[in-house]
Amino acid sequence: MQKGEIHLLLGGSGTGKSTLLRMIGGLQRPDSGEVRVAGNLLSEKSERELGEIRKQIGMLFQNGALLDSMTVLENVGLPLREHLRKPWSEIATQVARVLKSVGLDGVEGLLPRELSGGMLRRVAFARAIVMEPEILLCDEPFSGLDPVNVSRIEDLLVELNRSLGLTIVVTSHHMASSLRMAHQMILLRRGTCIAGSPETLASSDDPEVTDFLGEDGRSYLARLHELRAGGGA
């Protein structure tokens, strides 16, 4: 995977998208093969060494994974508090800034259970980027969200990638919404994978690829291709 690009992991359920993402985060160790992040071989690292690497990685979990006994402020500010030992007053302003960038305002005092699904996802998003990581892993960031929130998060991802040069890995089975932002697509299928840019996958004749993309996906990609070509001209 290339630095500074948005990678999209696709595949039906059970093909190991989340597992692959968890391996990149060092949460699971591979049965075979090796995982390298920024030149570090994760499988040979101890939990403590992994911690150092993880400070460079932000991860957005499917259900947010916010600590439900802590407020939004404490949740988002936690990594700042833990690793940078900043005073809470300073953390509060930084958290407010990050929350604003994901379109939230004045929710610091709420508990996660008092938030809606879309807000929860965005708070989790804020927590993942508050340490300004170099790599952002997103596990199904679009699932279970309404179209408004989907496009909002999509915009956020693209924005982060453009402005900060963040490397982003996204898993999804939500085709249309995620295709337009991806630089690279990796299609997982029963232990094998097919990688390429959206364009190459769209024009691929591999039956597995066409199967997965379906007619809609292919036509969408084709249109996207034309659009990009048109924009370039």
Partner 1 sequence: MNALIGWIAELGAQTLAQVEGLGRVARFGGHLVAAIPRRPTRFGFFVRALFDAGVLSVALICLSGFTVGMVLGLQLYTTLTRFGAEEGLGAVVGLSLVRELGPVLTGLLVTGRAGSAITAEIGAMKSTEQLDGLRMMAIDPVHFVALPRALALSIAMPLLNGLFIVFAIAGAYGVGVWRQGLDGGVYLSGLEDAVLFGDDVGQSLLKSLIFGLLLGLISTYKGHSCDPDAAGVARATTSTVVTASVCILLADYVITALWGV
- Asked if 184 contacts 168 with a C-beta cutoff of 8 angstroms, the reply is no
* 110 near partner 1, judged by CB under 8 A: no
**Residues whose CB is less than 8 angstroms from the CB of residue 5 and which lie 6 or more positions away in sequence, other chains included:** 161, 167, 168, 183, 184
Contacting range for partner 1; rule: CB under 8 A; set: 33-41, 60-68, 94-102, 195-203? 60-68
3-state secondary structure 41-65: EHHHCCHHHHHHHHCCEEEECCCCC
Site for partner 1 in 113-142 (CB under 8 A): 127, 131
From 6, 8, 57, 119, residue interacting with partner 1 (rule: CB under 8 A)? 57
Write the DSSP string, 118-137: HHHHHHHHHHHHTT--SEEE
Q: Tell which positions 141-170 bind partner 1, by CB under 8 A.
A: none
Residue from 43, 63, 200, 210 touching partner 1 (CB under 8 A): that is: 63
Q: Is 152 helix (H, G, I), strand (E, B) or coil?
A: helix
Q: Toward partner 1, which CB reaches closer, 25 or 198?
A: 25
Among 8, 9, 20, 25, which residue interacts with partner 1 (rule: CB under 8 A)?
Answer: 25
Residues 161, 167, 170, 174, CA torsion sign: positive
The answer to whether residues 9 and 20 touch, using CB atoms and an 8 Å cutoff, is: yes
Pairwise CA distance, residues 114 & 152, whole Å: 21
Question: Closest CB to partner 1 among 122 and 127?
Answer: 127
Question: Which parts of 67-106 interact with partner 1 (CB under 8 A)?
Answer: 67-69, 78-79, 82-83, 85
Q: Is 22 in the site for partner 1 (CB under 8 A)?
A: yes
Nearer to partner 1, 135 or 145 (CB): 135
Local structure of 196: helix, strand or coil: strand
Pick the closer one to partner 1 by CB: 120 or 187: 120
Among the listed ranges 64-72, 159-167, 170-178, 220-228, the one in contact with partner 1 (CB under 8 A) is 64-72
